[in-house]
């Protein structure tokens, strides 16, 4: 049982170490500043290599392979060597032998037993055991190897999940940066309109309410810009976390939200066929199914006899200087007859596990078809919405330009321009959301088709 003071002390040490790590500059602990220049595909592949979930799955796979190597020992000869010396006393009644006593003589040993000794001995011995036939051990090894292969497939599945999460974080970061740029453009426009309103007011061709409206618009856009910068920082922080990028490293994204390739919408059936051939989670489930079958076979093989040859050879005597060679050899056949229904229970358990995996694979096959078709539909719809949002932004920009011309011509007030600028602000945001949805749909489609590592 751990006392609370120990826990408190441990917690304080960890907190102090974390604080020191955060305060010290990188140069003091021997790290140079790293620069990460990443595209969308680079981020996905990097996360697939170094993501925390991937490293954990890799460690589990290493452990499974180590367990598989351990099971090989049951099929190989074992060799032991011993050197011993010592002494002991004996109770003669424990010998189980009655020594005849000649008539008229006292018995050699007390019939009720007596202690003799101590008898010293020295022993140098080597023994070897060779399994000649052990089908159960062979089945256990095959089961362990199948489990290790399934664990490697689980590592691939974890890498795919980490890559998908990183790709989504990358798109979110691009969207955050693009929103900051859009709000900066809105603020620049709002400040220009404010200057125009003030100039018209000074010239006596506008009223004070136009200036107030323009000032209100500038304040609103500044607030939006602050919020956009905060969201962009949070998104980048999430991307760094998913990629496990050091805190002092520089992160440079080589893509831009509007410049990312959109690509064509694939054919649904072709995408489903590719997914069935490439999905790592399906491979993992089938790998565990094979492992369950091997475990079932190993349990069934426990009913078969086991044949073992054993040889024991060495030197034995009262002292190390006076020893004789002794040996023992045996050929043993072991046949399991009854184990209290333990094996039958394990067989029933393994059969149930195999059926469970069959149901999981069947459900996963159905899910893959649904996921792929849904992803294709979502990508198609997102592309159409992005095109519509782009047209809306174009018209909103055109409206602002026309309203500015009317103001300069003296046929309209700045209030109309401010309202047009507000609609342009909304149109820019809608287009950013639509573009982010397109690329998020691309990531999802790549994930469900097993092609997340092929993103450019």
- What confidence score (pLDDT) does residue 193 get? 85
CATH number at residue 149: 1.20.1600.10
- When pLDDT is cut at 50, 70 and 90, the band that residue 6 belongs to is very low
Q: How confident is the model at residue 17 (pLDDT cuts 50, 70, 90)?
A: low
For the chain, give the mean pLDDT.
87
pLDDT tops 50 at residue 148: yes
Q: Is pLDDT of 206 > 90? A: no
pLDDT of residue 8: 54
Q: What is the pLDDT of residue 7?
A: 45
Residue 9 has pLDDT above 70, yes or no: no
Q: Is the pLDDT of residue 2 over 60?
A: no
CB 175 within 8 A of CB 228: no
- Which tens digits make up the pLDDT trace of 419-440? 888 999 999 999 999 999 999 9
Domain contains 199 = yes
pLDDT of residue 254: 92
d(CA 416, CA 302): 87
Residue 289 within a domain: yes
Asked, for residue 335, whether it belongs to a domain, the answer is no
- Structure tokens, 140: 């256990």
Cβ atoms of residues 309 and 330 within 8 Å:
yes
Residue 87 resides in a domain: no
Q: Which of 119-123, 335-339, 372-376 has the highest mean pLDDT?
A: 372-376
Structure tokens at 444: 């999802």
Per residue in 21-73, pLDDT (tens digit) is 444 444 444 456 789 999 999 999 999 999 999 999 999 999 999 999 999 88
The C-alpha atoms of residue 211 and residue 224 are separated, in whole angstroms, by 20
Confidence of residue 10 (pLDDT cuts 50, 70, 90): low
Handedness of CA 48, 364, 299, 339 (dihedral sign): positive
Q: Is the pLDDT of residue 329 over 80?
A: yes
Reported as a pLDDT band with limits 50, 70 and 90, residue 4 is very low
Task: Assign 83 a pLDDT band (cuts: 50, 70, 90).
Answer: very high
**pLDDT for position 353:** 92
Q: Are 123 and 84 in contact (CB under 8 A)?
A: yes
According to the model, what pLDDT value does residue 207 have? 78
Task: Specify the pLDDT at position 31.
Answer: 53
pLDDT digits (tens, 9 = 90+) for 303-319: 899 999 999 999 988 88
Distance CA 435, CA 429 (A): 10
For residue 318, is it within any domain?
no
Q: Is residue 15 part of a domain?
A: no
pLDDT at position 74: 86
What is the rounded CA–CA span in Å between residue 229 and residue 232? Answer: 5
Cα(58)–Cα(156) distance, integer angstroms = 9
**Confidence check: pLDDT of 87 > 80:** yes
For residue 294, the enclosing domain spans 40-81+133-306+341-454
Overall average pLDDT of the 159-180 stretch: 95
Residues 6+ apart with CB under 8 A from 382: 434, 437, 438, 440, 441
Tens of pLDDT, residue by residue over 91-140, are 888 877 777 777 777 777 777 788 888 888 999 999 999 999 989 899 99
Percent of the chain, pLDDT > 90?
60
Placement of tokens 């603020």 in the chain: 187
d(C-alpha 388, C-alpha 384), whole Å: 6
Does any domain span residue 94?
Answer: no
Map the chain to HEC letters. CCCHHHHHHHHHHHHHHHHHHHHCCHHHHCCCCCEEEECHHHHHHHHHHHCHHHHHHHHHHHHHHHHHHHHHHHHCCEEEEEEEEEEEEEEHHHHCCCCCCCCCCCCCCCCCCCEEEEEEEEEEEEEEEEEEEEHHHHHHHHHHHHHHHHHHHHHHHHHHHHHHHHHHHHHHHHHHHHHHHHHHHHHHHHHHHHHHHHHHHHHCCCCHHHHHHHHHHHHHHHHHHHHHHHHHHHHHHHHHHHHCCCCCCEEEECCCCCCCCCCCCCCHHHHHHHHHHHCHHHHHHHHHHHHHHHHHHHHHHCCCCEEEEEEEEEEEEEECCEEEEEEEEEEEEECCCCCCCHHHHHHHHHHHHHHHHHHHHHHHHHHHHHHHHHHHHHHHHHHHHHHHHHHHHHHHHHHHHHHHHHHHHCCCCHHHHHHHHHHHHHHHHHHHHHHHHHHHHHHHHHHHCCCHHHCC
- pLDDT for residue 12 is more than 80: no
Query: How many domains, in total, are found in the chain?
Result: 1
Q: Which pLDDT score is estimated for 200? A: 80
Domain assignment present for 428 = yes
Q: In the prediction, which pLDDT does 11 show?
A: 61
pLDDT band at residue 279 using 50, 70 and 90 as cut-offs: very high
Higher pLDDT among residues 291 and 4, named by residue: 291
Q: Is residue 407 very low, low, confident or very high in pLDDT (cuts 50, 70, 90)? A: confident
């Amino acid at each position: 049982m751990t006392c609370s003071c120990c826990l408190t002390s441990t917690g304080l040490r960890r907190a102090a170490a974390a604080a020191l790590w955060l305060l010290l500059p990188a140069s003091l602990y021997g790290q140079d500043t790293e620069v990460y220049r990443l595209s969308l595909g680079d981020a996905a592949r990097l996360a697939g290599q170094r993501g925390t979930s991937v490293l954990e799955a890799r460690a589990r796979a290493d452990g499974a392979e180590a367990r598989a190597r351990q099971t090989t020992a049951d099929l190989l000869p074992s060799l032991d060597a011993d050197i011993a010396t010592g002494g002991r006393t004996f109770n003669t009644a424990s010998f189980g032998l009655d020594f005849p006593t000649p008539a008229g003589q006292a018995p050699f040993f007390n019939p009720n037993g007596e202690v003799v000794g101590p008898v010293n001995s020295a022993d140098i011995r080597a023994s070897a055991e060779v399994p000649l036939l052990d089908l159960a051990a062979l089945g256990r090894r095959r089961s362990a190897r199948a489990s290790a292969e399934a664990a490697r497939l689980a590592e691939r599945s974890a890498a795919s999940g980490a890559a998908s999460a990183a790709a989504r974080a990358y798109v979110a970061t691009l969207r955050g940066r693009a929103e900051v740029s859009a709000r900066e453009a809105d603020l620049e426009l709002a400040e220009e309109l404010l200057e125009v309103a003030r100039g018209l007011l000074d010239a006596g061709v506008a009223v004070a309410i136009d200036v107030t409206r323009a000032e209100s618009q500038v304040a609103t856009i500044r607030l939006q810009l602050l919020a956009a910068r905060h969201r962009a920082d949070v998104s980048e922080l999430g991307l760094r976390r998913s990629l496990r990028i050091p805190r002092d490293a520089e992160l440079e994204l080589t893509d831009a939200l509007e410049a990312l390739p959109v690509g064509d919408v694939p054919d649904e059936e072709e995408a489903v066929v590719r997914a069935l051939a490439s999905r790592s989670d399906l491979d993992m489930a089938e790998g565990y199914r094979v492992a369950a079958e091997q475990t079932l076979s190993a349990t069934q093989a426990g009913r078969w006899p086991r044949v073992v040859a054993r040889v024991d050879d060495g030197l034995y005597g009262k002292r190390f200087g006076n020893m004789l060679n002794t040996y023992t050899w045996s050929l043993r056949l072991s046949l399991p007859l009854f184990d209290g229904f333990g094996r039958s229970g394990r067989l029933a358990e393994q059969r149930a596990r195999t059926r469970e995996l069959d149901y999981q694979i069947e459900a996963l096959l159905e899910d893959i078809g649904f996921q792929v078709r849904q992803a294709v539909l979502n990508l198609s719809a997102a592309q159409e919405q992005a095109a519509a949002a782009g047209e809306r932004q174009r018209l909103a920009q055109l409206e602002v330009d026309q309203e500015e011309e009317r103001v300069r011509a003296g046929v309209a007030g700045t209030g109309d321009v401010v309202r047009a600028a507000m609609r342009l602000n909304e149109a820019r945001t809608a287009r950013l959301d639509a573009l982010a949805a397109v690329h998020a749909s691309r990531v999802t489609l790549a994930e469900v088709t097993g092609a997340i590592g092929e993103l450019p």
